[in-house]
């Protein structure tokens, strides 16, 4: 676990805190293969359904983006993108940064090891309904529990953020505490919930984003029906406790957003978060941050989040009776990656590669002047290049077109979105939100 975590550290990260992210990614890695096998079966069906979807969408929501720059408009629809377009356009944003283009909830993650996100959260505050700095871990300490991370919280930034707009502030808490103790002992559960609620009150948060499923899964907790049930009960109890506290705005309660991962294969496994869990928890959870990214890995290079895979996950999670599906979809925050991947295609040791952020992507474009290609199958842009050591590499990084396709998809379902993470993208991505 430790080794992988370190290697998966995002470039430019200082970092200690993206463990949960890495552990989730780790879970996904072994699953890419099965996920990939399943894709071809779904291709035909999805081509048909997405064509219809796009037609319906165009009909229902004619394009209304009114940015003055024609280049921007072109790039959105453009699969034939040149590196020059990206270099000249990426920093230009429309003058009115408070106009929203996406009507459902938009959550943006911010990481302390990539401080650009803090600035962007203020600048584009109105684009977001929720902002989640990844600050906290709830840990076991001897026989008790501690909530670590207050040192990450910058009170100056918090008050600037609140002045900048209405986006709710919900720091992420990763539940690292030993799950058996926590779930089976009433005293521990109460303590955990009390720590979280107290922190929200003292710091003026609007609630939290909780990540625990990936950890519980790694501990094997979710394979055991009685423990799995206790796990769900814990989330319920936490949600109820948060909802019983009023927030900083009138008629508002503290919120709970819960992080969920994609299913591990075509067929739902016991440890996967499924449609039943969604229904059970939807009463006490205000949103589900769905991690629809990291489909590929250094050992299995490819697109980050194939559109058909996203469609498959949504249809699986929302395979409930129609009227329920609609209201449940409103609570899902479809994950959209603002980072890319730079993978090695050679088998040389130590050259696997990993995540690439906006600024590194731009320098790579400047240096390599690559031909950007559009992968019709996944709906992502990519390019090849040869690095200084002579290794062939492939880079998948989001583009206006790839992001807008995913926004269209989310809109069709009636889902919100969650962005990992805002400091990793390019400025003009925010115009889409
Ligand atoms: C910016 O957009 C918002 C929301 O549409 C609108 O209320 C506001 O008047 C706009 N500001 C300017 C300067 O156009």
| Separation in Å, CA 136 to CA 149, 171, 282 | 4, 7, 24
Q: Do 330 and 104 touch, CB atoms closer than 8 A?
A: yes
State yes or no: pLDDT of 48 exceeds 70.
no
Question: What tokens appear for 59 in the block?
Answer: 């009909």
Nearest to 412 by CA among 400, 404, 424, 422: 404
Closest residue by Cα to atom 11, ligand 1, is 96
* 99 CA distance to ligand 1 middle (Å): 6
Residue 17 alpha carbon to ligand 1 centre in Å: 37
pLDDT, mean over the chain: 86
3-state secondary structure of 401: helix
- Tell me what the mean pLDDT of segment 39-57 comes to: 44
Nearest residue CA, atom 6 of ligand 1? Answer: 99
Give the pLDDT confidence of 106-146 residue by residue, as tens digits. Answer: 999 999 999 999 999 999 999 999 999 999 999 999 989 99
DSSP string, 137-189: EEEEETTEEEEE-GGG--HHHHHHHHHH---EE--EEEE-S-HHHHHH-HHHH
Q: What is the pLDDT of residues 277-299, one digit of tens each?
A: 999 999 999 999 999 999 999 99
State the CB neighbour count (10 A cutoff) for residue 2.
8
CATH superfamily membership of 13-80+95-340+402-432:
Glycosidases (3.20.20.80)
Say whether pLDDT at 332 is over 60.
yes
Q: Separation of 155 CA from ligand 1 center, angstroms?
A: 29
Quote the ligand 1 centre to 131 CA distance (angstroms): 21
**How many whole angstroms from 428 Cα to the centroid of ligand 1?**
18
Confidence at residue 31, expressed as pLDDT on a 0 to 100 scale: 39
The number of the ligand 1 atom at minimal distance from the alpha carbon of 96 is 1
Candidate from 65, 96, 166 with most ligand 1 atoms within 8 A of CB, to mutate: 96
Query: What spacing in Å lies between the alpha carbon of 68 and ligand 1's midpoint?
Result: 15
Residue nearest to atom 2 of ligand 1 (CA): 99
pLDDT of residue 326: 78
The DSSP letter of residue 331 is T
For residue 70, the model assigns a pLDDT of 60
Distance of CA 424 from the midpoint of ligand 1 (Å): 26
Residue 106: beta bridge partners? 417
Give pairs for 79-83: CB < 8 Å, separation 24+: 79/374, 79/376, 79/381, 79/401, 80/374, 81/372, 81/374, 81/381, 81/399, 81/401, 82/371, 82/372, 83/365, 83/368, 83/369, 83/370, 83/371, 83/372, 83/383
Q: Is 40 helix (H, G, I), strand (E, B) or coil?
A: helix
Residue nearest to atom 13 of ligand 1 (CA): 96
Tell me the per-residue pLDDT of 154-177, one tens digit each, with 9 for 90 and over: 999 999 999 999 999 999 999 999
Distances in Å between the alpha carbon of 348 and those of 309, 321, 343, 354, 356?
A: 30, 50, 12, 15, 20
- Pocket lined around ligand 1, Cβ cut-off 6 Å: 96, 98-99
Contact assessment for residue 415 and residue 104, using Cβ atoms and an 8 Å cutoff: yes
Q: Where are the domains of the chain?
A: 13-80+95-340+402-432
Which residue minimizes the CA distance to atom 12 of ligand 1? 96
Segment (H or E) for 84: helix 83-89
d(CA 195, CA 20): 20
Query: pLDDT category, 418, cuts 50, 70, 90?
Result: very high
Residue 95 alpha carbon to ligand 1 centre in Å: 10
207 in the Ramachandran plot: left (φ > 0), alpha (ψ -120 to 50) or beta?
A: left
> Residue 249: which pLDDT band, with cuts at 50, 70 and 90?
confident
Q: Could you tell me the distance, in angstroms and rounded to a whole number, from the CA of residue 105 to the centre of ligand 1?
A: 19
Burial (CB < 10 A; 0-12, 13-18, 19+), residue 391, is: middle
Report the nearest-CA residue for atom 7 of ligand 1: 99
Helix-strand-coil split of the chain, %, nearest 5: 45, 20, 35
Counting Cα atoms < 13 Å in the Cβ hemisphere of 309 gives 32
What is the residue with the minimal CA distance to atom 5 of ligand 1? 99
Nearest CA to ligand 1 atom 14: 96
On the question of pLDDT at 430 being above 90, the answer is: yes
């Amino acid at each position: 676990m430790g080794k992988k975590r370190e290697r998966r550290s995002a470039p430019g990260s200082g970092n200690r805190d993206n463990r949960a992210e890495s552990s989730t990614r780790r879970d996904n890695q072994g699953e890419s293969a099965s996920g990939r096998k399943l894709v071809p079966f779904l291709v035909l069906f999805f081509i048909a359904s997405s064509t219809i979807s796009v037609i319906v969408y165009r009909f229902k929501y004619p394009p209304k983006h009114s940015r003055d720059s024609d280049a921007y408009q072109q790039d959105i629809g453009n699969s034939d993108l040149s590196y020059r377009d990206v270099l000249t356009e990426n920093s230009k944003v429309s003058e009115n940064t408070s106009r929203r283009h996406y009507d459902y909830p938009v959550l943006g993650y911010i990481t302390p090891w990539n401080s650009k996100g803090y600035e962007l959260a203020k600048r584009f505050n109105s684009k977001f309904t929720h902002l989640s700095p990844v600050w906290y871990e709830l840990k076991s300490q001897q026989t008790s529990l501690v909530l670590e991370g207050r040192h990450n919280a910058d009170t100056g930034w918090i008050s600037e953020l609140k002045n900048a707009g209405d986006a709710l502030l919900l720091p992420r808490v990763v539940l690292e505490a030993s799950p058996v103790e926590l779930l089976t002992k009433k005293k521990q559960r109460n303590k955990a919930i009390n720590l979280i609620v107290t922190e929200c009150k003292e710091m003026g948060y609007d609630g939290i984003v909780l990540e625990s499923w990936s950890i519980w899964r790694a501990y094997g907790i979710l394979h055991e029906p009685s423990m799995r049930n206790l796990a769900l009960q814990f989330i319920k109890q936490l949600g109820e406790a948060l909802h019983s506290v009023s927030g900083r705005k009138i008629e508002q309660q503290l919120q709970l957003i819960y992080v969920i991962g994609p299913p591990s294969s075509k067929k739902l496994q016991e440890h996967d978060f499924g449609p039943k869990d969604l229904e059970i928890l939807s009463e006490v959870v205000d949103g589900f941050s769905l991690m629809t990214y990291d489909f590929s890995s250094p050992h299995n290079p490819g697109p980050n989040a194939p559109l058909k895979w996203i469609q498959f996950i949504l249809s699986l999670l929302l395979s409930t009776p129609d009227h329920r599906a609609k209201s449940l979809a409103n609570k899902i925050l479809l994950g959209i990656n603002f980072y890319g991947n730079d993978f090695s295609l050679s088998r040389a040791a130590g050259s696997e590669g990993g995540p690439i952020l906006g600024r590194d992507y731009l320098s790579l474009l400047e240096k390599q002047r690559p031909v950007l290609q559009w992968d019709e199958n996944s709906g992502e842009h990519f390019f090849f290049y040869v690095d200084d050591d002579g290794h062939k590499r492939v880079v998948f990084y989001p583009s206006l077109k790839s992001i807008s396709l995913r926004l269209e998809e989310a809109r069709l379902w009636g889902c919100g979105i969650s962005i990992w993470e805002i400091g990793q993208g390019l400025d003009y991505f925010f115009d889409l939100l």
